[in-house]
Structure 1
């Protein structure tokens, strides 16, 4: 059987991979000796990936917060060597709001065994939890059924 030629824009189902519900940095890009340095690397990665200039991001963060955020301060947040200036939670929130890069949150959540996902995935997770609970109950019911068949003596 000969294989039919495929159109170059046509996807092969075997090549398809679902998108991950968790957005994360490439681990090697944010690996650091301290949490502060890891966060600095993450800020730097986010600024590189957002498609905007740092001056534009600083202006947008200023508008978001209603307080001045300069490009120089943003550069310091993204610099591993600036241990004296670590981004605050309110400015991290502004950076999230401006860049929409949830990898910043995922970086911190993953350290605690959690994941940051879009809310649209919550019903699927709840369904999976319910199915797991039902499977546990089915096993318990089957165990009790076997006990009853055996005369209830255990």
Structure 2
């Protein structure tokens, strides 16, 4: 008779663990829109929904950050595709990011340019990866030139 090993319940947690994503972005279908202004409005709406805070709390935090009054009414307009005359300005966009902690808002702006928004703690690792890629490219170029010189008799 074989003895069945009991499974450690902590193993389930380890197997379920997923590494954090270095780039966080809204799902493309959640911010897809006919114009950039409408896409920004959808992003504002998604950030407000995903913040875990009420619009009153977000407005209050934006107001404190800016030192000026930001109402929930204007947040509603910023989040509405229909309110085309109320596109959020950059200063308030920064305050919204501060209040919602939504890196996804920044990613929404960076992504069309081929850029990514990552946490500062990842910058050195990205720099190292870039340097290693450059070193590999240079090594391939050096090897190709060496082969060319050897074939032409210029290097023995």
Match of 2:25 in 1: 24
State the partner residue of 2:150: 149
Partner of 2:99: 98
Q: Once the 2 structures are TM-superposed, how far is the Cα of residue 80 of structure 1 from its aligned partner?
A: 1.5
Runs of 4+, deviation exceeding 3 Å: 2-9, 11-17, 147-150
How many residues get paired? 153
Distance 1:51 1:13 in 2: 27
Relative to the length of structure 1, the TM-score reads: 0.88
Whole-angstrom distance in 1 between the partners of 2:148 and 2:4: 57
RMSD (Å) for aligned C-alpha atoms? 2.3
- Correspondence list, 1:126-137, <5 A: 126-137=127-138
**Shift of residue 144, structure 1, vs aligned partner:** 3.1
CA offset digits 1:7-36 (Å, max 9, x no partner): 344247776543221110011111111111
**How far apart in 1 are the matches of 2:74 and 2:13?**
47
Q: CA deviation at 1:104?
A: 0.4
> Residues 55-83 of structure 1, C-alpha deviation per residue, up to 9 Å, x if partnerless?
11101111100111001001111111111
Greater share of residues in helix: 2
Task: Give the deviation of 1:149 after TM superposition.
Answer: 3.4
Q: Which stretches in structure 2 are left out of the alignment for 5+ residues?
A: none
Alpha-carbon deviation of 1:147? Answer: 3.5
The answer to whether residue 108 in structure 2 is matched with residue 107 in structure 1 is yes
In the other structure, the counterpart of 1:50 is 51
Find the counterpart in structure 1 of residue 84 from structure 2: 83
Normalising by structure 2, what TM-score? 0.87
Q: 1:3 to 1:89 in 2, by over 3 A?
A: farther
* Structure 2 residue aligned with 1:34: 35
Counterparts of 2:20 and 2:104, CA distance in 1: 15
